Structure 1
Amino acid sequence: MSHDRTPPDCSLLIGEHELSSASGGVFAHINPATGDHQANIPLAGPAEVNQAVACASQAFELWRRFPGEQRALLLNRFADLIEKHTDEFIRLAAIEGGTPITVGAGGPRLGAEWTRYYAGWADKIDGQVVSMPPAGELIYTRPEPYGVIGIIITWNGPLISLGMKVAPALAAGNTVVIKPAEQTPFVAHLFAKLALQAGIPPGVINVLPGSTEAAQALIGHPDVQKVTFTGGPVTARKILHQCADLLKPAVLELGGKSANIVFEDADVVSVAQMAAFWSVGLLSGQGCELPTRLLVQDSIYDAMVEAVRTVAGHLPLGDPFDPNTIVGPVINEDACTRILGMVERAKRSGAGRLVLGGERLGGEYANGYYLRPTVFADVDPASEISQQEVFGPVLVIQRFKTEEQAIALANSTGYGLGGYVQTHDLGRANRMAAALKTGYVHINGTRNIPACAPFGGIGLSGYGKEGGRPGLDEFIRLKTVSMPA
């Protein structure tokens, strides 16, 4: 893989036309690893949103009539191209988001997996005969695409979000207008260009980096039939207010404060490695379903705290292009300030015992947005750092004695995205899976977000599903037809 750190030219993509300037102004893109300005990103305004939606509406009339097997063929070609360009996606993720190249392969792998999975559904969308009542009517359903879907994604793992949203929308016959975060425009641009290369018609996928004004224009456009959003609860509430005025449906994949519950029969060493990497290592803790609360049974608590501290303290930090780096920077200066503010408040209030980190890196990394992996033990369950999503490399550890206490602690936040259980007791694992108030439960290290399984949360973690057949159904409307038998 090339270690060229030069960002590509970035533009808006409307149909097959690239716009190097737009009415929303310019975003000065900063490399999170160095703090240096590296590109000017053109931002869409309402004018470009109108153009893109008109283009997507026109393309919809063509795309919806493609036979399912043809959409499947094109989506599989698209998945092939995502895989073929793995190295470039890894490079772009390091440039735009500071994702280390050692973990960056997860983006194209999952992006291709989700695209290929939904390609398999494209020719299997069927209705059903509902009934033949005594009156002699035949009643059946027609599954139909919505039309233009507005897709708004945040900056962490953009290629994964694109695969989760775009692939099922297209498989169902919809077209899309994507507003990626202005912090991560390069991956989304390459994604859309590869779709054209795969033969997906111009206008089926449109990409508009833009400001809040652009997002509002996209949500409010009368020809946008549904909105799907990945981000945080604060922004989601604003989106829902706007959708409510228009009676427009939305899917919300929001944040999490997922509990990783470790019982005394679990292996301390292997769980500590998993707990540290998946909370303060992977994406520098900037992931919605990462297990950022570690709940440990009393008899192994002290050993687990020490093991996690040791593992987390030895995770290599540094340059995203260094093949030894595991932990890169967080996304920007604002994120550094916000995360460190939460850490300082936790320290001042006595919310927990700081056992590792809690500081910004200096020296050669002082200009980048690097935070040392941070671990708090003995954390008050009611504290801010236990209740609120940090979205950074911060892990809180709490003690429990009984299964009932573990359940109460795990369910004590307003979030409900993921839950993790570590035990060799099958009965206990099933009881915990039933008791946790989450959209997903992982037992003993199962992997996150496979395309075949429904993914989505409850409470502050949003609603709606991505993945599996339910993820396809989010982009289908059922029409009921009755006729004399």
Structure 2
Amino acid sequence: MKDFRCFINGAWVNAQSGETFESTDPFTAKVWARIPKCDARDVDLAVDAARRAFDTGEWSKLNATQRGHLLRKLGDLILRDADHLASTEVQDNGKLYAEMRGQVGYIPQWFYYFGGLADKVEGAVMPIDKPDMFTYTRHEPVGVVAAITPWNSPLLLLTWKLAPALAAGCTMVIKPSEFTSASTLELMRLIDEAGFSKGVVNVVTGFGADVGEAISTHSGIDKIAFTGGEASGRRIAQQASGTFKRLTLELGGKSAQLVFPDANIDNAVKGVVSGIFAATGQTCIAGSRLLVHESIHDQFLEKFVELAKTARMGDPMDMATQVGPVTTQPQYKRVLSMIEMARNEGAQAVMGGQPADRLECGDGWFIEPTVFAGVRNDMRIAQEEVFGPVLSVIKFSDDEEAYSIANDTAYGLAAGVWTSDMARAFTAAKRLRAGTVWTNTYRAVSYMMPFGGFKNSGMGRESGQEAIHDFLETKSVWLAFNKDVPNPFVMR
């Protein structure tokens, strides 16, 4: 059993209540750690520390180049400790070590990228139409930022917020998911070692009702960057509106993968498998709707099921494992309930559709990779985010129908296109209402590329140069150098 503390104002402290809650390993279904159960009092302490650091602390006196040096140093430390951070995430959220190790090893690139970008954010001199005026713009940090992160990829999705926010000069209060707080707390050891001054980055752990709501309504927080479900995002937006907080919301998806008749079938099969069964389908970009042309539907589905059935399930720390457990017991139950719902709607389970009771799955929360055929796009299984290893297969007859079906959800996070016709690829990229469109690949991300969604999939962008501007305010500066003050009763 490992005991963690939260990190506030550069110190490791217990929750003000003295209470803790337990974290469970999804593979063994056994408790492995105790986490501080914070409340509004802890949020107040963290926000006060972040506010002081932003307004008057050492951090406020650093220039952008110095901030960049700290970010690059943090990236080096993460790379050094990538094995430990990755194994911590696996124990906490059950995702594959093979993926988590690669993911954590890639995370430093965000700190290198934004560390380099920190001193390259430029204002502009404006060619103003007023006489005797010199005008320019400058970009200033928005202030204290709260990052609220989910349980599926805690460190990566925190990094997408932390790196640009610190590069911009903001300070941070972080609330990780109550299911996966450990890796975020481990990262704070590296924040401390890198030399970030007190109060620049703080972590409060606990539940939404105790910590999340206190953050969303806190007058000392200037912006919230959230990744999670649509319902939670809507609640945060409503709570934050009382103090007009800036918001970046990266929410859910019901992403479609479109397979056209001219696609390379074997590559498309691999891409669709990656999109829905990698990470046990627990990604916001999961390609959970397969739209396949009617002329190749049967051939494609046969090949797809043949490959998907070879997926190895078991211990996520085993490098040979390809499908791990569902991260939380509530989510495990929810996925099973949605599978039952799909059956009741008339969808046909051609693969899986039940808990996995394989010996190699032990006592963990495993669900067999599941494929439903005969799905209509108006079924709930085609409209609602499952966040698990469940694929809905829908036929289409022509390109127009494919785009119509793909766009016919409340979400717009991602889409995949499989075709050998580049004209069709460019047309699809234009017609699909999604923040990311992949062609002949899927589930690729980079620190260089903006990421975010249309419609109910959120607002704002993370990664790429656009991301840093979500943590900056633009200030307009006017300098008048005329000797005589004009009529004070007339707008200039």
* TM-score interval, normalised by the smaller of the two chains: over 0.9
Q: Are positions 1:162 and 2:183 aligned together?
A: no
Q: Are positions 1:16 and 2:15 aligned together?
A: no
Q: Are positions 1:360 and 2:355 aligned together?
A: yes
The aligned runs of 1:9-408 (5 Å cut-off) are 9-23=3-17, 25-61=19-55, 62-212=58-208, 213-280=210-277, 282-350=278-346, 352-362=347-357, 364=359, 365=361, 367-408=363-404
TM-superposed deviation, 1:71: 0.9
TM-superposed deviation, 1:22: 3.6
TM-superposed deviation, 1:342: 0.6
CA shift digits 1:90-130 (9 cap, x unpaired): 21111000011121123313421212111111111111112
CA shift digits 1:19-66 (9 cap, x unpaired): 134428322211111111222211211111111111111111332331
CA shift digits 1:233-253 (9 cap, x unpaired): 111111111111222221100
Question: Structure 1 101/366 Cα, relative in aligned 2: closer, same or farther at 3 Å?
Answer: closer
Q: Is the 8 A contact 1:110 1:163 kept in 2?
A: no
Find the residue that maps to 1:104 and give its secondary structure. helix
Shifted more, 208-217 versus 16-25: the winner is 16-25
Determine the C-alpha separation between the residues in 2 that align with 1:430 and 1:231: 30
TM-superposed deviation, 1:472: 0.5
Q: Is the 8 A contact 1:103 1:326 kept in 2?
A: no
Determine the C-alpha separation between the residues in 1 that align with 2:78 and 2:89: 14
Q: Is the 8 A contact 1:111 1:162 kept in 2?
A: no
CA shift digits 1:253-286 (9 cap, x unpaired): 0011111111111111121112112212x21100
Q: What TM-score, normalized by structure 2, do the two folds share?
A: 0.94
Which amino acid in structure 2 is aligned with residue 273 of structure 1?
Answer: K
TM-superposed deviation, 1:366: 5.6
Shifted more, 57-66 versus 80-89: the winner is 57-66
TM-superposed deviation, 1:8: 4.5
Q: Is the 8 A contact 1:24 1:214 kept in 2?
A: no
Shifted more, 418-427 versus 22-31: the winner is 22-31
Determine the C-alpha separation between the residues in 1 that align with 2:434 and 2:19: 40
TM-superposed deviation, 1:310: 1.3
Determine the C-alpha separation between the residues in 1 that align with 2:60 and 2:165: 11
Unaligned runs of 5+ in 2: 482-492
Shifted more, 401-410 versus 102-111: the winner is 102-111
Shifted more, 475-484 versus 36-45: the winner is 36-45
TM-superposed deviation, 1:136: 1.8
Unaligned runs of 5+ in 1: 1-6
Q: Is the 8 A contact 2:27 2:362 kept in 1?
A: no
Question: Structure 1 383/366 Cα, relative in aligned 2: closer, same or farther at 3 Å?
Answer: farther
Runs of 4+, deviation exceeding 4 Å: none
Shifted more, 80-89 versus 440-449: the winner is 440-449
Determine the C-alpha separation between the residues in 1 that align with 2:362 and 2:147: 35
Q: Is the 8 A contact 1:64 1:145 kept in 2?
A: no
Q: Are positions 1:484 and 2:477 aligned together?
A: no
Determine the C-alpha separation between the residues in 2 that align with 1:18 and 1:339: 37
Find the residue that maps to 1:59 and give its secondary structure. helix
Q: Is the 8 A contact 2:271 2:442 kept in 1?
A: no
Determine the C-alpha separation between the residues in 2 that align with 1:421 and 1:301: 15
Which amino acid in structure 1 is aligned with residue 37 of structure 2?
Answer: L
Q: Are positions 1:437 and 2:433 aligned together?
A: yes
Determine the C-alpha separation between the residues in 1 that align with 2:318 and 2:447: 30
Q: What is residue 485 of structure 2 aligned with on the other side? A: none
Determine the C-alpha separation between the residues in 2 that align with 1:197 and 1:441: 39
Larger Rg, first or second structure (1 or 2): 2
The count of aligned residue pairs is 477
Q: Is the 8 A contact 1:145 1:475 kept in 2?
A: yes
Q: What TM-score, normalized by structure 1, do the two folds share?
A: 0.96
Which amino acid in structure 1 is aligned with residue 23 of structure 2?
Answer: H
Which amino acid in structure 1 is aligned with residue 86 of structure 2?
Answer: I
Determine the C-alpha separation between the residues in 1 that align with 2:240 and 2:401: 39
TM-superposed deviation, 1:131: 2.3
CA shift digits 1:456-483 (9 cap, x unpaired): 1011101111111211000000111101
Which amino acid in structure 2 is aligned with residue 272 of structure 1?
Answer: V
CA shift digits 1:143-197 (9 cap, x unpaired): 1001110110111101111110000000000000000011111110122211111
Determine the C-alpha separation between the residues in 2 that align with 1:104 and 1:468: 22
Determine the C-alpha separation between the residues in 2 that align with 1:388 and 1:304: 24
Determine the C-alpha separation between the residues in 1 that align with 2:226 and 2:372: 31
The alignment's C-alpha RMSD in Å is 1.4
Which amino acid in structure 2 is aligned with residue 204 of structure 1?
Answer: V
Determine the C-alpha separation between the residues in 2 that align with 1:373 and 1:206: 38
Which amino acid in structure 1 is aligned with residue 26 of structure 2?
Answer: P
Q: Is the 8 A contact 2:114 2:167 kept in 1?
A: yes
The aligned runs of 1:403-414 (5 Å cut-off) are 403-414=399-410
